[in-house]
Structure 1
Amino acid sequence: MGKYTQIFQGTAFTSDSPKKLSILKDYLFCVNADGMIEKIVAPKQADYQLLLDTYKGQENFHRLAEGQYLLPGFVDLHVHAPQWAQSGTAQDLPLYDWLNEYTFPLEAKYSDLTFAKKVYEDLVDTLLSNGTTTALYFATVHKEASILLAEICAQKGQRGLVGKVVMDDAEQNPSYYRDQDTKTALINTEEFILAVKELAQTVKQGVYPVVTPRFIPSCTDEALKGLGELALKYDTHIQSHCSESDWAHHYVQERFHKHDAFALNDFGLLTDKSVMAHCNFLDDNDASLFARTGTAIAHCPLSNAYFANSVLPLSRFMAKGIDIGLGTDISAGATPSLYDNVKQAVVSSRMLEDGVDTALPAEERGVPNSRITINEAFYLATAGGGDSLNLPVGQIQENYTWDVQIIDTKVSTAKLPIFDDNEDLYDVFQKLIYNVRPENIREVWVQGEKVHSR
C-alpha cells in the first residue's frame, strides 16, 4: 500500500462531459511517481480506510482543510506570450490599428533575450497563479526567444506547447517584424522543433513544439505548404487563427476563393493535433471539415468581444462534435484568467441567443438555442482543452495527470459567499467558478508537482 507518491483527501469537481459535472465528495486521490492519478477511491469503497490508515500522518498525505476544494488545472488554448507586456492597452482600437501601432512593434522587441526572459518568466508565473496548468503559446518570429519560452515553462513546471511564429510574406508584414524570407522561416521552424523535442526529454510535465503560421494573410503559399510538411514529418501540434474577423475571412476568400478552413486543409494544417483560434465565421461546411479532420477550436470569448466582429456560435459547433476549449488570447483578451473567460463564454452565448438590437422584435433579435450552461463553460476550460490537445489533462480521473488547483473559499481577503457548511455542493461549485480570485488559489500542482502556493 506504500506505492503512491502523493495522496490527497478532499472534495473535487470535474467534468465527465460538456453537460455532466461529477462531484467527488471526500474522495482519496492517489498519485504515482509519474504524476498520474493511479487510483481514485470513494469513501464507501473497501480500501478507503486501509489507505487512510497507511498514509494518514505521512508527509505525502494531504487532507484539504474545511472550505477547500479541488478543481482540475485549466487549459488555455490560445496565448500570445509576448503580448503580456501590453495586456490591457489599446483595447478600443480596430484590430488593424492595434496590431500595427502596438502589437507588432512590441513583438519585434523579443530579439532581445533579456527582455524576453523578463516578460516570459512573469507570464508563466502569472498563469500558474491563475490556475492555468497547460498553455498553448504563440511566441514570436525569433527562434531563440521561442526556445527560451519553452525552457521557462520547463523550469517553472507548466506544461507548455510553444510555437515559433511564421510571418514570411513581405507584402503583408511590416519590414521591421517578419521572417527574413520563406527559406529561413522554415529552417528556423525545423531547428526550433528539434530543440524543443530535445528539451522535452528532460521535462516531467512535457513541453511541445507547435507549428505556427500566424494566420493565412501573414504567410506565403510556400511557407504554408512547408509548415504542413514539417508538422507531418515531426508529428507536432499545429496552431493558427482561422476566420476570426470580417477582414481576415474576406482576405482569404479573395486570395484562394475558398474559406480559411479549406485553404488550411489544402496545406496539411488541419489534423487531430490542430487548434485554430476564434473561427467565428465558420459555416456548416467548414465546421464539418473541422469535425472530420479532428481540428479543435480555441474559443476566446473576451477577445472576440473586442476584435472579432461577432460571437462564436458555440452550441452549434459543439453539436457537430468539434473539440472546443477556451483561450484567454492575451493580450486581445486583457486578462490572464480563464475564470473570466468561463464567465464571458456564458455571457456571450446568452447575448447571441437574446440578440442586442432592441429595435427588432424579440423573436427576430437573436439566434435560438445558443446559450450554454456554466457546466459547459467549465468543461471548455478543463476537459475540452485537454481533448483539443489529445493529452490526458483537464480532468480529475484515473490515468489523467495530477494537474489541480486547490481552492480556499475562506481566505480573509477573498472570502466566497458560502455561509452554510452544509450548502449544496453544486451551488458551491457555481460560486467557485463565478467568484474565485487568484487569492483563493492556494496551491497549483502539475504532473504531481507543486508549482505554485500562497
Structure 2
Amino acid sequence: MFAYKGDVLHTPTPDRFEVFEDGYVVVDDEGTVIDVVSSLPKAYADADLTIVDRSGCLIIPGFNDLHVHAPQYPLAGLGFDYELLDWLEKYTFPAESKYADLAMADHWYRRFITAMWSAGTLRFSAFATLHNESTLRLMELCQQSGLKPVVGKVNMDRNAPDYLVESTQASLAGTEELIRKSRETTPDVGFIVTPRFVPSTTEALMEGLGELVERYRLPVQSHLDESRDEIAWVRELHPDVPSYAEVYERYGLMPRNRTIMAHCVWLTDRERDVLREREVWLTHCAQSNLDLSSGIMPVRRNLDAGLKVCVASDVAGSHEPDMNRHIVMSVEASKAKTFEAGCERDRPLRLSEAFHMATKVPGSFFGKVGSFEPGYEFDALVVREDESPLDLSPQERLERFIYTGDDRDIKERYVSGRLIPQPFEDER
C-alpha cells in the first residue's frame, strides 16, 4: 500500500475543486485509490504503508483526451487559412496516405505517443488510418509505453482520394482482423470502431460496422455536426434521415454509453435528445473549431440539456496536444460565446468545470478513471513546485499550471498506480 503526499486536487463534481493541502492519496498495491485524507489516521500509520513524499508539489488526476488523430500529429499548425473540408483534402488525406509505409508510421507514432505522455495525457481515444499494419503498430507501441488508450482503424469507402479509400469488404475484413489481433497482443489498449464520418462511409459499410459493434460489444468514435458544409453534405447523402446523428443511430453506430462523437458544434434539439438517450460522450474541441473556422459549441446549453461533454484536443485540427491548453481554450470560447446574439445569458465555464471535463468526464469512458475517489484507478500527475512572490493556494498554483504550464512542470506520471517513464526517448 502507498500514500502519495502533496497538495492534492481533483473534481469529484464539476462545481468546485476538492483540495487536500499537504494531504495524502492512499493507493493499494493494485493501483486503486483507497482514500484521500488531510492526515494519515493511525490505522494507516500502523499498516504496511510506503510514503511517496512529494511535499510542495501538486498531485492531480491525469488528463484524458477522447478525440485525437494520431497520424496527424506531424501536421500540427498547418493550413488554418482553410476550413474543414478543404483542409482535409489539402493536408490530412495526403499525410495519412504516407502511413502505408510501416517504418514511417513507426517513427511518427513513437513521437505522437511521447507527446501524449509529455503533456500528461495518460488515456486517449485515437483515430489511426485505414492501414491495418500501421494501426496495429500504433496499438503495440501504446502497449509498450504504459499508457492505456483506445485506438481505431479509420473506415472510408467513398468520397476520398483513390489513394486513401478501401472497398467496403476490405474495410470490414481489415477491421475485424484488427479486433482479433489487438485482443491477443495489446490487452491494455482497446479497439474502437472508427467510421471517419458519414460522408466517407457507404450505407453498406456502416451497416457492416454496426454488426461488428454488436458482435464484439465495441465502442464507436466518429465526427458529428462539426461544420455547416459537412452537415449540408450529409443531408444530401441521406435525405430520408431526419438528422446527422440519426444516420449513425440507424446503422448501429451509436451503442448506448459506448459512443464518442467529436465536435457537435451545430446540434439541433432533436439531436440533443438522441445523444442524451444514447449516453454519448461529446468532445468539445474548442481550439480546433476556431482554427478551422467551424464554430463554437454552446457548451453551457449542452450541459444544461444533460449531455456528457468533455474537453478534447483534436490534434491536428488543433495545433497542440497539451490538455491544459484545451481547458483554457474551452473556458475562453465559452466566454466568447456570450457575445453572440441570443447567447448573452449563457454562463461561461468555470475552471473547475473545464478541469472536470478533461479528467473525470472523459475518464468515465475508461471506467473509474479521472478522480481520486475510492475505487478509482490512480492515474495521476505530479506537478512541480511553483515559485511566486505571492503566497498562492494549491488551487491558484493549479490555475497557473493550466494557463501557463507545460511538460517541464510535470515531474511524474502514474497510470493505474504505476510510474510511467518517458517512452521512446530518442523520438521526443
Which TM-score applies when normalising by structure 1? 0.89
1:284 aligns with 2:260: no
2:378 to 392, 397, 402: 402
Partner in structure 2 of residue 241 of structure 1: 223
For residues 308 and 389 of structure 2, the distance between their equivalents in structure 1, rounded to whole angstroms, comes to 34
Letter of the 2:5 counterpart: Q
Secondary structure, counterpart of 1:381 in structure 2? coil
Deviation at 1:321, TM superposition (A): 1.7
- Whether contact under 8 Å (1:78, 1:329) holds in the other structure is yes
Percent sequence identity is 29
- Whether contact under 8 Å (2:58, 2:398) holds in the other structure is no
Partner in structure 1 of residue 86 of structure 2: 97
For residues 302 and 106 of structure 2, the distance between their equivalents in structure 1, rounded to whole angstroms, comes to 38
1:174 aligns with 2:150: no
1:63 aligns with 2:40: no
Secondary structure, counterpart of 1:241 in structure 2? strand
Secondary structure, counterpart of 1:159 in structure 2? coil
* Number of matched pairs: 420
Secondary structure, counterpart of 2:19 in structure 1? strand
Note closer, same or farther for the CA distance 1:418–1:99 as it changes in structure 2 (3 Å cut): farther
1:190 aligns with 2:176: yes
For residues 393 and 7 of structure 2, the distance between their equivalents in structure 1, rounded to whole angstroms, comes to 13
Larger deviation, residues 143-152 vs 91-100: 91-100
Partner in structure 2 of residue 358 of structure 1: none
- Whether contact under 8 Å (1:296, 1:322) holds in the other structure is yes
Deviation at 1:397, TM superposition (A): 1.8
Note closer, same or farther for the CA distance 1:178–1:402 as it changes in structure 2 (3 Å cut): same
1:83 aligns with 2:72: yes
- Whether contact under 8 Å (1:12, 1:70) holds in the other structure is yes
1:300 aligns with 2:285: yes
Partner in structure 2 of residue 152 of structure 1: 141
- Whether contact under 8 Å (1:280, 1:308) holds in the other structure is no
2:390 to 419, 427, 436: 419
Letter of the 1:266 counterpart: R
For residues 137 and 27 of structure 2, the distance between their equivalents in structure 1, rounded to whole angstroms, comes to 30
1:333 aligns with 2:318: yes
For residues 208 and 19 of structure 2, the distance between their equivalents in structure 1, rounded to whole angstroms, comes to 47
- Whether contact under 8 Å (2:119, 2:407) holds in the other structure is yes
The structure, 1 or 2, with the larger RCO (C-alpha pairs under 8 Å, 6+ apart) is 2
For residues 129 and 62 of structure 1, the distance between their equivalents in structure 2, rounded to whole angstroms, comes to 21
Deviation at 1:396, TM superposition (A): 1.5
For residues 429 and 49 of structure 1, the distance between their equivalents in structure 2, rounded to whole angstroms, comes to 29
1:373 to 350, 371, 375: 350
Secondary structure, counterpart of 1:140 in structure 2? coil
1:324 aligns with 2:309: yes
Note closer, same or farther for the CA distance 1:225–1:443 as it changes in structure 2 (3 Å cut): same
State the Cα deviation string for residues 419-445 of structure 1 (Å, max 9, x = none). 32xx33332332232222111011111
- Whether contact under 8 Å (1:295, 1:323) holds in the other structure is yes
Partner in structure 2 of residue 261 of structure 1: 245
Letter of the 1:280 counterpart: V
Partner in structure 1 of residue 185 of structure 2: 199
Secondary structure, counterpart of 2:378 in structure 1? coil
Letter of the 2:385 counterpart: T
Letter of the 2:165 counterpart: R
2:6 to 10, 16, 33: 10
Note closer, same or farther for the CA distance 1:269–1:39 as it changes in structure 2 (3 Å cut): same
Letter of the 1:61 counterpart: I
- Whether contact under 8 Å (1:157, 1:451) holds in the other structure is yes
2:24 to 25, 28, 32: 28
Secondary structure, counterpart of 2:192 in structure 1? strand
Deviation at 1:37, TM superposition (A): 1.6
Deviation at 1:308, TM superposition (A): 4.9
- Whether contact under 8 Å (1:42, 1:48) holds in the other structure is no
- Whether contact under 8 Å (2:83, 2:294) holds in the other structure is no
State the Cα deviation string for residues 277-302 of structure 1 (Å, max 9, x = none). 00111111101111111111011110
1:429 aligns with 2:398: yes
Which TM-score applies when normalising by structure 2? 0.94
For residues 200 and 155 of structure 1, the distance between their equivalents in structure 2, rounded to whole angstroms, comes to 9
State the Cα deviation string for residues 325-379 of structure 1 (Å, max 9, x = none). 1211010101010111100000100000123xxxxxxxx4744214111111101
Deviation at 1:10, TM superposition (A): 1.7
Structure 2: runs of 5 or more not aligned? none
